[in-house]
Amino acid sequence: MAFDPKALKFDDKGLIPAIAQDAETHEVLMMAWMNAESVAKTLETGKVTYWSRSRQSFWVKGESSGHVQELVDFRYDCDQDCILVLVKQKGPACHTNRRSCFYTAVRDGETVELMSPMG
Amino acid sequence: MAFDPKALKFDDKGLIPAIAQDAETHEVLMMAWMNAESVAKTLETGKVTYWSRSRQSFWVKGESSGHVQELVDFRYDCDQDCILVLVKQKGPACHTNRRSCFYTAVRDGETVELMSPMG
């Protein structure tokens, strides 16, 4: 069946959450937001493109930092309200220079830092 | 540092997205929402507890289906606005009886079903 980005369910701001997962290691790298146009751009260009809520503009991941996400597979969930992109991540995904944004754990009520910035 | 669920950033509905990932296979299973109390309950009980937006009530995952998610690790991201729970998933995570909710891919403009309901 042909895919139409408009078949996805966007929230009242026209956005849908998108989870980026490393296609090889399966590490969850980050979560950001897309609108219908950034979904279309991601599929057309093969470069993962979010919608920046703070800047209110397209955010081609890595465009300024070089830490691009090359699309390997584009998936969405049973409710059509969340996207999972499997990616080839160049360098760190996180703006703190860590491989993943999910570097803080809560264990026995305390926060624990799981990874350091990449050298 | 002691963790306080209120340190997380909740949206204008008091919710934060939570990604569930299989702790062993690293498969992304589903995404749902938590509020501050469901975060606290998840950490206290070790049973992943979401907030059901449709029912406006706590949703102890698997409470009725038996397909529980036992918490293995609780993490959050650099912006404190997304949670990643690593879980031991019993049976299917998806209400369609599939292991993961992300069973639909878009390839060459067509939708492709990647997995079947569990037997």
Confidence of residue A94 (pLDDT cuts 50, 70, 90): very high
Reported confidence tier of residue A101, pLDDT bands at 50, 70, 90: very high
pLDDT at A6: 84
Second CATH level (architecture) for the domain B5-113 = Roll (3.10)
pLDDT for the residue numbered A119:
78
Query: Which pLDDT value is given to residue B6?
Result: 85
Rounded to two decimals, what is the model's pTM?
Answer: 0.97
Chain A nearest-CA residue for B72: A107
Q: Does B55 touch chain A (CB under 8 A)?
A: no
For chain B, positions 56-95, list CB contacts with chain A under 8 A. 73-79, 82, 84, 94-95
Rounded to whole angstroms, how far apart are CA atoms B93 and B25?
A: 14
Confidence at residue B69, expressed as pLDDT on a 0 to 100 scale = 98
Mean pLDDT along residues A85-94: 97
> Does B43 sit within 8 Å of A105, measured CB to CB?
no
What distance in Å separates the CA atoms of residue B93 and residue A114, rounded to the nearest whole number? Answer: 26
Percent of chain A topping pLDDT 70: 100
- Please, what sign has the CA dihedral across residues A39, A5, A79, B102? negative
Contact A31 B82 (CB under 8 A): yes
Q: Tell me if A84 sits within 8 A of A22, measured CB to CB.
A: no
Closest CB from A3, A82, A107 relative to B110 = A3
* Residues on chain A touching B111 (C-beta within 8 angstroms): 1-3
Q: For residue A83, what pLDDT band results from cuts at 50, 70 and 90?
A: very high
| A106 to B2: CB separation less than 8 angstroms, yes or no | no
pLDDT of residue B119: 77
Summarize pLDDT for B42-64 with one digit per residue, the tens.
999 999 999 999 999 999 999 99
| B92 — pLDDT class (breaks 50, 70, 90) | very high
Q: Indicate the residue type of B66.
A: G
What is the dihedral angle through the alpha carbons of B100, B103, B106, B108, rounded to the nearest 10 degrees?
130
Partner-chain contact B1 A96, CB within 8 Å: no
